[in-house]
Amino acid sequence: MDYLTQAAALADTPLADGERAAFWRAPRFDGLECLSATFRIHAYAPHTHETYVVGTIEAGCERYHIRGKDEYAGPGDICLVNPDELHDGEPFGEGYSYRMTYPSVPLMRKVASDMLDREVSATPFFKVSLSHDPEMAMAFSRVHRLLEAGSGRLEQDEGMHRIYACLLARYGDIEPAPMVGPEREPVARAKDFLSEHFAEDVDLETLTGVAGLTRSHLVRAFKRETGFTPHAFLTDVRVRAARRMLAKGGAPAEVAASCGFYDQSHLNRLFKARYGVTPGAFRA
């Protein structure tokens, strides 16, 4: 059977009334295909992918046949399909809404290599095709929306890597390398870099180069040493910088642009969450 991209799989059957499908790619993650859709009657014919299929159901129920049995996926479930695995998919009941990603084998090998602190040449394998995991389902949906909205690179990198690494650790044949002692110096270098470059759209690859650690190691060590993930630390630095600029009379829109926020509403939300007032009210 021929491999299908998700775009080709969708194109086989036109969407009915009440159905929707938003498809896009995230080039920075090895051309990662992403899909957000609601299906009432749309059904996929049996097919395979060169990529993995990783995602969650947000409403309703999807039935899909895989590994010789029917799976019924609903809210809070994580769906996992390995490359070359034959599967289909159709609504069960009144339909379903879901968010899916289609990570390539090289991308997942890179995540596994980071987790093990060594090069991985084998293809990671998910041992289950469905698991009820509300915590991971919620985290996946949040990161998927970040990709759809085109948020900052560090936030996307950190979130996407964490999701895939956690899923490989929980359901795959990958066991993360143990943490070896404190990493104060590497984390300190990463903190200094973020503090100096807070207005820039820093990515995780740049930060790992500064720290000299793999992505998995850096995120875990950073959280252990500071209580923050790298992105949370960067956000905190940005908000504090904005507060200083506002105190000197800076206009909120200009402050937002100068401190690396997407726009003024982004600054408003994060500033109020920390200080209880909007930037405009604080400035006044």
- Which pLDDT tens digit goes with each residue over 15-30? 777 898 888 999 889 9
Over 147-200, what HEC string results?
A: HHHCCCHHHHHHHHHHHHHHHHHHHECCCCCCCCCCCHHHHHHHHHHHHHCCCC
CA distance 194 to 184: 15
| pTM for this entry | 0.79
Give the mean model confidence (pLDDT) for residues 60-89: 95
pLDDT digits (tens, 9 = 90+) for 207-218: 999 999 888 888
pLDDT, residue 1, reads 39
Residue written as tokens 């129920």?
61
Joined together, the tokens standing for residue 184 give 């104060």
Domains of the chain (ranges, CATH numbers):
6-171 (2.60.120.280), 179-284 (1.10.10.60)
pLDDT digits (tens, 9 = 90+) for 190-208: 999 999 999 999 999 999 9
Q: Which helix (H) or strand (E) holds 118?
A: none
- 69-73 and 44-47: which strand pairing? unpaired
Pick from 44-48, 69-73, 215-219 the range whose average pLDDT is largest.
69-73
Q: Which helix (H) or strand (E) holds 222?
A: helix 215-226
Mean of pLDDT over the chain: 89
Q: Which helix (H) or strand (E) holds 281?
A: helix 279-283
Give the mean model confidence (pLDDT) for residues 66-81: 96
Residues in a beta bridge with 25: 33
